[in-house]
Structure 1
Amino acid sequence: MTTRQFCTATWLVLASVFCQKAHSQSAPDSTRFTYSTLASGFDEPMQMAILPDQSILVAERKGALRLYDAKAKKLGTVAHLNVFSGIEDGLLGVAIDPGYEKNNWIYLYYGLGGERHISELARFEYKNGTLDMSSKKVLLEVPTQRTYCCHSAGYLTFDSKGLLYLSIGDNTNAEEIEGHNPTDERPGRQLSDGQGTSANTNDLRGKILRIKPEANGTYAIPDGNLFPKNGEEGRPEIYVMGCRNPFRMSVDAKNGFVYWGDVGPDTEVPAEEGRLSYDEINQARKPGFFGYPYFLGANEVFPKYDFETKKEGPGQDPAHPVNNSPNNTGIKNLPPAQPAWIWYGKGPSKRWPLVGKGGASAMAGPVYYSDLYQDAPYKLPEYYNGKLLIYDWIRKWMMAVTLDEQGNYVSMEPFLPQLKVVAPMDMQIAKDGAVYILAYGTNWFAKNTDSGIIRVEYSEGNRRPIAVAHVSETVGAVPMKITLSANGSKDFDQNDKLTYTWTIGKTKLKGKESAYTFTKPGTYDILLTVTDSQGAQGTTTSQVKVGNAPPKVGLTTLSNQSFYWDDQEFDYKVSITDKEDKPIVKERVKVSFHYLPFGKDLASVLSSGDEDARFANTKKFYSTLDCKACHTMETRSIGPALNEIATRYAGQKDAKTKLAEKIITGGSGSWGSYPMPPHPDLSPEKAEEITDYILSLNQKHNSLPLQGKQLLGSHKGKGTEGAYVLQASYTDGGTKTASPIRTSKHVVLRDPQIEMEDYSDGNVGVVIATLNTGYVSYISNIRNGKYVRYDDIDLNQIRSIKLRLQEHGAGGIIEVRTGGKDGPLIGSLNVNPGKLDDLKTGWKDVAISLKPTKGKHDLYFVFKNPASPYPLFHIDKMLFGK
């Protein structure tokens, strides 16, 4: 788990320009990259290890060691270790021995469960899907503190010489640093002093270790580490020190350079780029001290802060750092501090604009060399030869960094920007040249459906097909019949013919479309394999849960379901049935009716089944922010849970203003000393909107009856942008084998006036509102045969449409049709010609009478005048009338 956990109300903005390339090769054709999700639904995946047969071991933080079986294309569980998974500890690292094909050794790094506060680096024998627990050999024990969060790191990797590297975080209190670096030397505050870990030569935390594993389960110290092998100056295992949270690292296979991402602090100390809160990508060409907690970035100096007097003094000299802390058990005179290689803060970076802004968790992947993959079928193109791949867990980007022959930074550019990875956690290259990416998923400390193993292939010749599966139902009761479709699958090689195979357990089905019936409850993986005429295959896996039928919620009305009119009544009737719940449990029914001042696009947001329509748009906006890096809904992370906040501030009159101000200005002290950074890019209105949403989590709302009427009067005097929302939902009780399921239905009523430029589809022009148009926007360049379409309009009780138009052109006919440009004609209007050169032609209102029509339809306005090649007229807006 990374620890750069600050909330921000800004979203990732990547610059659209690319940095200078080190050579003249053009970027590869993006269509030659194919992607497949091999497995998903992990519970906090931390690191992966690619086995010789392309199967993949994945370490999950809570202790599970998972296996993706490449042959069976299934995800299983190998073992579940007893680990301490509090704070950010747990099962953090997994790596296979370079001689795995002969010795079957794997290495795991984890917080040991129980009373001993240590983390273990241990070797096990893993063979044929089984982890032999009796084969355990503990190579190394690292004493830790489990009182304060955070910084565990825990990544494992080997270099080309068979040396094992382990990154370990500083394990220092990140919450009570008062806007400074953690150097609290007061008695009893040793857990808040990084000088006792990162800058302590006799402590393994805040370091990258390098050892040589031995056959008997011990290790030797290789030549060339930072300190002598006799330990007189410091622990001889240390290769790099002065790290905060060296979360992800790699070793250059050719020159041995070590690269790692160090996740930075949140401080209030002024710096060259904003505050001294940089994340770093570091390069170690040799062993060294990389500055923390005294320096950051290009050796920018932290002032010496006295936590007792709250006063700042002169900082350290990077050339001669001295550790005089009473918590230091190592040498005092440290090696010269090495500057970071790439560094960036929360704001836009002047040096590296592509990295964007906001929350950050910098990580380093491998350096790619073409000649290491000579015969690999999916190796990356020569364009990437010698480039370092880096990525950011929070900002969700991946970059390729170009180096010169000496290993100096030249430029960076987006790597696979078309691939949207949700929180990239690990990146490795397999022996066949494919790039594997481990995605953590959206929510912290949670099992995420959007977590997974992504395989990326590049092909110069025949390309693998891309498998896309559509499953008609993903949850249901026994028996459960589903239909399967591979219609979205494709192959970029035009002459390839595709065949389709569906695998469900031991059953195999053929065909682009198929069907299957489940007769037993359980969770099933459905594997789609798409094979081209040359034998290349693409796969994708879907999951189906059988054993509980979703509730059925019906919502009927005699009223129009698209629009509201002044002081009309909206009648409704809700019906609920559930296969398992008999009778329906009244307390699980929720019916609500609200007027929302801003209702545009609300229907698309509510289609996901949002619990409270009032905050549907707010939740959608909130999901685009990285505040969830600090705050989960139910459980405390670095920041409090949203429900905690709602409970604390319930009933306080000034809570809304206070919280909104804090979101914008930042601060600390309310929930501990871990600082909440400011969010100056967020408007007061947006901050209050988020605050309203959070405070609502503690409020109880009574449900309306299943049948009734609602007066439509709340909109009057509030413009045309608002909407009424009637929402009904039911959450069933689940079954012994399946979790509860919630089903909801809604009706959104909007103002009957629609601006013509708000069409869903069409081929007319739009004139934007300016001073010259009287601040009116309208559709223009309306010629013979052109059209506009408006989706899902309920025509029940609609008798006419009033158009505001301008007779500025050749004139013609407006046809109103349903279902298509040639669909049934339900109304038409002749528009007189006007003078093309008369820009003062006024707007006028005209009405189109409609044939009585029931139900919802896509509404087409088709414009005709076969005799004229010129524009016909302009239209501003329309008003639906009863």
Structure 2
Amino acid sequence: MKTLFTLTLSGITFLLLFLFGPAPTAEKRFEHPGIVQHPLNIDTPDQRRFVKVDLVKGKFTEPTEMAVLPNLDILVAQRRGEIMLYKQQSRTLKEVLKLDVYFKTTVSNVNAEEGLLGIAPDPNFAANQYIYVFYSPFKTSVNRLSRFKLVNDRINPASEKKVLEFYSQREICCHTGGSIAFGPDGLLYVSTGDNSTPFDVPKQTYVNKGYAPLDNRPGLHQYDARRSAGNTNDLRGKILRIRVKADGTYSIPDRNLFPKNEPKTKPEIYVMGDRNPYRISVDQKTGFLYWGEVGPDASADNELRGPRGYDEINQARKAGNFGWPLFIANNYPYRAFDYTNGQSGAAFDALAPVNNSPNNTGLTQLPKAEPAYIWYAYGASSEFPQVGAGGRTAMAGPVYHTKTGLNPYPAYYNGKLIIYDWVRGWVKAVSMSPEGDYLGMEPFLSNISLSAPIDMELGPDGKLYVLEYGKGWFTKNPDAGISRIDYLKGNRPPVMEKFEVLQTSGLLPYKLLASVKANDPDGDALTYVWSLGKGVKKTTNKPELEYTFTKAGEYPVSVKVVDASGAVVSSNVVPVFAGNEQPKIDIQLSGNKSFYFPGIPVDYKVLVSDKGAAVHKNRVYISSTYTEGLDLAGAQLGHQEAAQTLVGKSLMLKADCSTCHKIAATSIGPAFTRVSAKYQQNNKAVTYLSGKVMKGSSGVWGEVPMPAHATMKETEVRQIVEWIMSLAAKASGAPSLPMQGKIIPPATVNTNKPVLSLKATYADMGMAGVRSLSSTSVVNLRSNVIDVKDITDISQFSRRDISGEIELLLPKNTGWIKLKQIDLKGITSFLPQVKTMAQEVDYEVEMKLDNQNGVSVGKGLLSGKNIAVDAVADGKLHDVFITFKGTTKDIKERPLLQEVVLKGKGSK
């Protein structure tokens, strides 16, 4: 694909993303000179009025680009060579041509992005039936633009006219471009990638590290983008512009970047300096060219190399050089770099760029570099904060224009550029001045969920059509499809808040109990259409359904909520299993359910039940580990089956993780089960992997980097990682603990690993017609030594951070700290540990249940001695307030609380 295809591990970012650069005075150098965010119209149309109408779904294998024909039929190019035709009247899909394309390398661990990449109809298609495609023929190392003829819903291979082709290096990765678009004057534009490797040269001291590929050592051509994108005599890393003649040949229009017959140049070039211009669009009113540029992966500016990676949205009002690989974003310059000794040269000059690579066959002096129109890195953007953060793959176009008699959307959007991001899934409407200057952007289609949108086109009906690649690399995705965006001028669609299935599995006959919570903004009565798999549908007037399955199998269950005017909102799909019921697994503790105590045995017992089948004890896997895990404030303490198996998975699905990873199958990133298995014996796995997700990572599972997710909540990242770690406990090969036994914590608590996690997993044998189902149960016990960094609920205490060390300054008069929902079973005393102060001060300390004025269960003086606790044997979890009351007048220096130690029977 577009180098798109090189996403990263967290679900995220293609190799495509490599373009960055800075310079020593990074802060000053990277200031934006003049972007002004103009206020947007307060009368922005209600986004709930935009609805997504699915035309075809789940039938495409790697769709790349589409062409909406005058009769609203749609042609779709698939990377593996098929051209598919969707017939809008019959709502059918069929193959009309299969090209023999190069789409897979023969090199281990190297993904090809070539294949059938682009498709567009001739502007005069109604009369000539011409279709243009951009593809990589299998037998020749070229990328080719050809013209075919569509007759009677078939494309005869013999109708091919080869318009243009150029050499492309194969068996490497990446960056293909391949998008085709026509301008209002009938000129044809086609984008090409830089055909360069963004990864590091193996076994070398000095490597690329995600900055501009400028390695010109002999034999390493693929690591030097100056040979292609920066080369005026090469068609790679460009956007070409030609006029195709009736006989299939072409002429060069005026005002391309280089005049005809100029030595060391190609006259077809309109725009040069592109990395991977994967999706292009031409404004049919102004003729301005727009494209998304997928950038490099460096996550930080580097004084020796240049800027971090950025994706770009670009606008070309005339021919120009857009900088890559010498510049990126707002013309941030890279530095020349000597890969033989690691020495940096001067930063490149945007006003007079020079390409002195020995691999360059074109001009040495290049046209001045043009800055990007919009740019953004992995992290939050100060210039364009609306784009968010995370993985990135920028796409651009079309520009919406109202037409006489064709105004499917509000006139508010007239003249606005539509941009979108393949990974982040958002769509934005960009406001521009009449001259094309950037004014601002705002959310567009914000109530619509898209699965990796890879192309957007305006149809002859003036409506926006969306092609979704689906969340998964190099495969047939169930969420791949074509949809149309409608705007409901009068009626608004329902809003769905929640869809749930009470029990997702059961023995036959299996009774499904499903419910949905939805409302209609216009107050209409709602109808519920339930899809139960295998073509079975049920309609109800109530938001719940009871249905009995009598045949074993896995069934995808979903619901559509329909209002009185036919507007629809659809739920996610929940797989249910008839004929096999998910086993139940439980960990029972005889002692305290919140804490463990050094040297005091933790007595546990694992119970497994599997309705309708015998329990095979050899399929039970039990493990314990001490981790840096959970803090007391976020308190994932006690029994955590739901938190591990449901919450973490749910958070993963909402994030961009699933774009690059599958649970058990390999995608652009490793399967979660492989990640889980790799780190089963690492006591710091949760903290280590959480840090990788937050900060980004590369080189662990291959060349494709995982971008940073600095804006994600750390607690949510940990829950995702905890869920991942629960997937492959038995895959580690370590022996299972017995189903009943004792775990004896060490005599001294390791403050770096204060959580004891006891995990039990059971996978049943499956039933006839239904696969094996598994359940996981986890109990987390926190050390009895509670560091003040884990105490966030305080009153009248002063919280101080001294070089990363958290301290709590006791109140002058009265204050409290709160320990949330803890078990007091077996707790016999507690000890607040304070730092000794010069002045002697006295505090009365008291432990109370449920609120600061609750029942007292322990009282004493802050004297460095244990304070006895009355037995609490109600079996409940309590919020525990520990109050501190100062009894010394004129306190000059208040003590510092460092930790609270809870002591149990037998502990020292």
Task: Give TM-score scaled by structure 2 length.
Answer: 0.68
2:141 is the alignment partner of 1:109? no
Which residue pairs with 1:172 in the alignment? 196
2:299 is the alignment partner of 1:294? no
Cα distance, 1:234 vs structure 2: 3.6
Cα distance, 1:288 vs structure 2: 2.0
C-alpha spacing 1:539/1:94, structure 2 compared with 1 (3 Å): farther
2:285 is the alignment partner of 1:254? yes
The aligned amino acid for 1:157 is A
Q: Matched residues in 2 for 1:305 and 1:454: separation?
A: 47
Which residue pairs with 1:867 in the alignment? none
Cα distance, 1:45 vs structure 2: 4.4
2:38 is the alignment partner of 1:21? yes
Which residue pairs with 1:727 in the alignment? 760
Q: Matched residues in 2 for 1:25 and 1:660: separation?
A: 40
Cα distance, 1:206 vs structure 2: 0.3
Q: Matched residues in 1 for 2:247 and 2:137: separation?
A: 22
Q: 2:626, 2:755 within 8 Å by CA — same for their partners in 1?
A: yes
Cα distance, 1:597 vs structure 2: 5.9
Deviations 1:469-491 (A, max 9, x none): 95859988998867585733443
Deviations 1:38-64 (A, max 9, x none): 666565543344456666555454556
Deviations 1:105-150 (A, max 9, x none): 544433333x432334345556887666565554443421123221
The aligned amino acid for 2:523 is Q
The aligned amino acid for 2:141 is H
Cα distance, 1:406 vs structure 2: 0.7
Q: Matched residues in 2 for 1:499 and 1:623: separation?
A: 24
Deviations 1:814-845 (A, max 9, x none): 9xxxxxxxxxxxxxx999xxxxxxxxxxx998
Which residue pairs with 1:341 in the alignment? 373
Which residue pairs with 1:365 in the alignment? 397
Which of 182, 185, 192 aligns to 1:158? It is: 182
Which residue pairs with 1:95 in the alignment? 120
Q: Matched residues in 1 for 2:851 and 2:371: separation?
A: 70
Deviations 1:730-749 (A, max 9, x none): 165798x98x5442142536
Q: Matched residues in 2 for 1:148 and 1:75: separation?
A: 33
Cα distance, 1:279 vs structure 2: 2.7
2:520 is the alignment partner of 1:491? yes
Deviations 1:170-209 (A, max 9, x none): 0012224535533333332322222221123332210112
Matches within 5 A, 1:830-845: none
Q: Matched residues in 2 for 1:222 and 1:253: separation?
A: 18
Q: 1:525, 1:541 within 8 Å by CA — same for their partners in 2?
A: no
Q: 2:628, 2:684 within 8 Å by CA — same for their partners in 1?
A: no
Which residue pairs with 2:604 in the alignment? 570
Q: 2:638, 2:781 within 8 Å by CA — same for their partners in 1?
A: no
2:543 is the alignment partner of 1:510? no
Which of 126, 144, 147 aligns to 2:168? It is: 144
Residue aligned with 1:210, SS: strand
Q: Extract unaligned runs of 5+ from structure 1.
A: 13-17, 756-764, 780-788, 815-828, 832-842, 862-876
Cα distance, 1:299 vs structure 2: 3.3
Q: Matched residues in 1 for 2:479 and 2:623: separation?
A: 31
Q: 2:587, 2:778 within 8 Å by CA — same for their partners in 1?
A: no
C-alpha RMSD over aligned residues: 6.2
Which residue pairs with 2:65 in the alignment? 47
Q: 1:148, 1:174 within 8 Å by CA — same for their partners in 2?
A: no
Q: Matched residues in 1 for 2:873 and 2:697: separation?
A: 61
Q: Which moved more, 1:286-295 or 1:765-774?
A: 765-774
C-alpha spacing 1:481/1:277, structure 2 compared with 1 (3 Å): same
Which of 359, 367, 384 aligns to 2:413? It is: 384
Cα distance, 1:73 vs structure 2: 6.8
Q: 1:577, 1:584 within 8 Å by CA — same for their partners in 2?
A: no
Cα distance, 1:344 vs structure 2: 3.6
Which of 307, 322, 339 aligns to 1:275? It is: 307
Q: 1:261, 1:280 within 8 Å by CA — same for their partners in 2?
A: yes
Q: 2:283, 2:289 within 8 Å by CA — same for their partners in 1?
A: yes
Q: Matched residues in 2 for 1:647 and 1:557: separation?
A: 26
Cα distance, 1:283 vs structure 2: 1.0
Cα distance, 1:718 vs structure 2: 7.7
Q: Extract unaligned runs of 5+ from structure 2.
A: 14-34, 105-110, 201-206, 787-792, 799-809, 828-845, 858-866, 881-899
Q: Matched residues in 2 for 1:724 and 1:198: separation?
A: 53
Which residue pairs with 1:601 in the alignment? 636
The aligned amino acid for 1:730 is A
Q: 2:641, 2:778 within 8 Å by CA — same for their partners in 1?
A: no
Cα distance, 1:331 vs structure 2: 4.5
Q: Matched residues in 2 for 1:546 and 1:330: separation?
A: 63
Task: Give TM-score scaled by structure 1 length.
Answer: 0.69
Which of 109, 117, 142 aligns to 1:118? It is: 142
Cα distance, 1:337 vs structure 2: 2.8
Matches within 5 A, 1:634-645: none
Which residue pairs with 2:23 in the alignment? none
Cα distance, 1:413 vs structure 2: 3.3
The count of residues paired between Structure 1 and Structure 2 equals 790
Matches within 5 A, 1:464-479: 464-465=493-494, 472=501
Q: Matched residues in 1 for 2:519 and 2:694: separation?
A: 46
Q: 2:627, 2:686 within 8 Å by CA — same for their partners in 1?
A: no
- The higher-RCO structure (CA 8 Å, 6+ apart) is 2
C-alpha spacing 1:454/1:803, structure 2 compared with 1 (3 Å): farther
Q: 1:518, 1:546 within 8 Å by CA — same for their partners in 2?
A: no
The aligned amino acid for 1:280 is E
Q: Matched residues in 2 for 1:23 and 1:661: separation?
A: 37
Matches within 5 A, 1:226-625: 226-228=257-259, 234-266=265-297, 270=302, 275=307, 277-314=309-346, 317-346=349-378, 348-357=380-389, 359-369=391-401, 371-372=402-403, 374-377=405-408, 379=409, 381-417=410-446, 419=448, 421=450, 423-431=452-460, 434-440=463-469, 444-445=473-474, 456-465=485-494, 472=501, 483=512, 487-496=516-525, 498=527, 500=529, 509-512=538-541, 530-537=561-568, 542=573, 549=580, 552-553=583-584, 555=586, 567=601, 569-576=603-610, 589-593=620-624, 598-599=629-630, 600-601=635-636, 606-607=641-642
Q: Matched residues in 2 for 1:474 and 1:124: separation?
A: 53
